[in-house]
Amino acid sequence: MPPEADNLKQYLISLDISWLHWLQSWVDPASPIQVWAIRFFSDFHIFFMAGLLVVLWLYAVYSRQSLYKESALYVAWTILFSLAIYLALNQLFPIRPRPEAVSAITPIIAHLPDNSFPSGHAIFAAAALVATVLFLKIRYLTATICSLGILMILARVMAGIHYPGDMIVGAFLGVVFALVFYRIHRHSWIEVVCIRFPLRVGRLFRL
């Protein structure tokens, strides 16, 4: 690696660490409210999205508007596609220990000592947001999902289990993966396997 590139890498790492400490400086581990909020928002976005998709599906059953079912399926498959690509490529990403493994940071959330880079949660948040914009096109839902995604990203950094850079790169990849799926979502095999087949199964159970 050329000296200039190595210097840039070290600068970005030091900047990332300084951002981590700055965000953590806002956290008082002795405050039960802060600790609860960090733990709550660190995963709430995922449960919110799952609940939202179920509600959209049930509303489609109630109103007999299959469009909402298709939208819910497209959002779900966008997220699953993005996470699948992340898992497939995860071995190619550089191994970066989590903050608690290389510093005196005590994490607020218990976590496996696996690769910190990039963040799968950030990929989820970005893919969910892009899918909401492209397939649901409901403004208040878009704003809510964006807000919850940002809160999840901040909560996981403030919890001490990710660096900000993990989240930034993860969010970028989530956007890219979601756009790739949107580019191919009209292919016939995707419509047959990912959309038409689940719709037929749902009709068998009157759902």
- The predicted pLDDT at position 120 comes to 93
Per-residue pLDDT at 1 exceeds 80: no
Tell me how far apart the 2 most distant CA atoms of the chain are, in Å. Answer: 64
Which residues, at least 6 apart from 102, have a Cβ–Cβ distance to it below 8 Å?
none
- Position 1 in a domain: no
pLDDT band of residue 96 (cuts 50, 70, 90) is confident
- Position 189 in a domain: yes
- The predicted pLDDT at position 4 comes to 65
pTM above 0.95, yes or no: no
- Position 143 in a domain: yes
- Position 174 in a domain: yes
Q: How many domains does the chain have?
A: 1
Residue 129 amino acid letter: L
pLDDT tens figures, 116-139:
899 999 999 999 999 999 999 888
Q: 42: exposed, middle or buried (C-beta count within 10 Å: 0-12, 13-18, 19+)?
A: buried
- The predicted pLDDT at position 138 comes to 86
Domain span at residue 62 reads 32-204
- Position 13 in a domain: no
**Mean pLDDT taken over the chain:** 90
Q: How many CA atoms lie within 13 A of 11 on its CB side?
A: 6
To 5 degrees, how large is the angle CA 98–CA 80–CA 66?
A: 150
pLDDT band of residue 39 (cuts 50, 70, 90) is very high
CA distance 180 to 184: 7
Report H helices in the chain. 3-24, 32-63, 66-89, 99-102, 120-131, 139-158, 164-184, 188-190, 197-204
- Position 22 in a domain: no
- Position 69 in a domain: yes
- Position 169 in a domain: yes
Residue 20 amino acid letter: L
pLDDT tens figures, 134-164:
999 888 999 999 999 999 999 999 998 999 9
Long-range CB contacts for residues 200-205, cutoff 8 Å, separation at least 24:
202/57, 202/61, 202/69
Per-residue pLDDT at 69 exceeds 70: yes
Nearest to 129 by CA among 60, 176, 94, 86: 176
> What angle, rounded to 10 degrees, do the helices at 164-184 and 66-89 form?
130
Nearest to 50 by CA among 145, 130, 178: 145
Q: 134: exposed, middle or buried (C-beta count within 10 Å: 0-12, 13-18, 19+)?
A: middle
